[in-house]
Amino acid sequence: MSWPVNGTLMIEPTESEDKEELDRFCDALINIRQEISEIEHGRMDPRTNPLKMAPHTMEAVIASEWNRPYTREQAAFPVVRKQT
C-alpha cells in the first residue's frame, strides 16, 4: 500500500495473490466502509463498535462474559462470505 496522492490509497497486490484472496480483501474493505456508514447514520456507537474495538481475540470472543453492544459473531466473523 502507498499514498501517492494526498487523500488517496493505492493498493498493489503481488502477483502471487490469487483471485480468491483479492476478493476476500475487497470484501473486508467493503465491510469496513459499511461499518463506517452505520456510525455516520447513528446506527452504531462511534466509541463502541466492531471497527473501533478491533481486534477481537479468540480469548475475548469465547469468554463467558460479553459486554459489547454487538454480537460475538459480528466480532469474530465481520465479513459473511458468499458460498460458491
pLDDT above 60 (res 82): no
Q: Cell 452505520, residue?
A: 38
- Report the SS3 class of residue 66: coil
pLDDT score for 83? 47
pLDDT attached to residue 49? 94
pLDDT tens string 23-78 = 999 999 999 999 999 999 999 999 999 999 999 999 999 999 999 999 999 999 88
Q: What does the alpha-carbon distance between residue 53 and residue 46 come to, in Å, rounded to a whole number?
A: 10
